Amino acid sequence: MFPLPKEDKKVSPYFVFYLIHAMQIGVGILGFERIIVQSAGYSSWIAILTSGASIIGLVWVSYRILNKGNNDIVAIHAEIMGKWIGGFFSFLFSLYFFSFALVVLRSYVEVLQVWVFPEVSEWIFVLIIIFLAYSYVTGGFRVVTGVSYLGILYGLPLLLVKFYPLQYADYGNLLPILNASPAELFKASKEMTLNFLGFETIFMFYPFIKDGPKSEKWAYFGVLFSIFIYLLTAFVTFVYYNQEQLKGTIWATLTLWKIVDLIIVERFEYIGISVWFFTILPNICIGLWCASRGMNRLFPVSQRSALRIFSLLLFFISVILTNRQQIDLLQKAVSQIGLYTIYFYLPCLLVLQYIIMKVKKG
């Protein structure tokens, strides 16, 4: 009922590192510092570690489900809950994957409008980015994987820019090391959830990995690298800004790019935003690929047709969202849905799968 893909459509296990890391580093990293500082002050770097550790635990849970099911989330749902109930949850997962592409696309277009092209309508950027993403996704999963690999490669030089603000650093900002209550740290960890979301896409592309169980260690490496990037970014931001400045800065990382002084470039943030496009493009491609793949598995419709429908939806919803309050509301909604999906639904699915398989064997 749910056939596995052919070998020539699969990628090597180590590509899981790029796919998962690409999904976890999107537009959120441009301004996550302000959000976690509001909850736990400069001690919120601890929330990055605790939140990241919990994600590693959830990746372990995900692989237990996938290794037992040996297929994607659509087939696993059908096996555990039957065609209709399982199909309903798979449908929700497809919409959930689509929401990744929506949040990233609309947030990046907002950055473009505010920082680079304030007089250009958002629908022009939305149309161009969707056209590019559509072109790559129609090339298949191997092309989407290549986009993820190159996106990370192109974004790595931006890490060097983080050393510029350190010449103005006040390391006393980090003291005392632990100045937040457990409740405040817990709240900051919840706020970090949106930034670590995206590893769940493995529930859709797992069958496209050669020898899926062997890719587990690469998934952990991907999450660990994401934790390192967030910690480094938070550290640089915390030693540069005082708390009051940071609470009033929406995109702290973007603002830090303004102090970069190069002989040949007057406004480095323009270059940074342009390079960052190659980092957010894999987010949109993977989200659209997973969403359209889910529909292809559920309904008698080709993945390309499903992709066209999702691309149109992506365009219209992105254009409807016109101000910061609406985009902020969208980000919070996806963050809340993601929070309940990974922390409650996935562990419940693992337990249910174990019980059902035990009963079937008995």
Please give the full DSSP string across 202-250, using - where no structure is assigned: HHHHGGGBTTGGGGHHHHHHHHHHHHHHHHHHHHHHHHHS-HHHHHT-S
Q: Which residues have a Cβ under 8 Å from the Cβ of 116 and sit 6 or more positions away?
A: 270, 273
Q: Which tens digit of pLDDT belongs to each residue from 197-237? A: 889 999 999 999 998 899 999 999 999 999 999 999 988 88
pLDDT of residue 362: 67
- For CA atoms 59, 60, 61, 62, the dihedral sign is positive
Tell which phi-psi region holds residue 222, choosing left (phi > 0), alpha (psi between -120 and 50) or beta: alpha
260-294 burial code (b ≥16 CB/10 A, e <16)? beeeeeeebbeebbeebbebbbbbbbbbbbbbbbb
What one-character DSSP code corresponds to residue 241? Answer: S
Considering only CA atoms, which of 208, 212, 227, 233 is closest in space to residue 8? 208
- Six token digits for residue 133: 């993403």
pLDDT of residue 66: 95
**56, 58, 124, 148 from 343: Cα distances, Å:** 12, 8, 37, 26
In which residue ranges of the chain is pLDDT below 50?
Answer: none
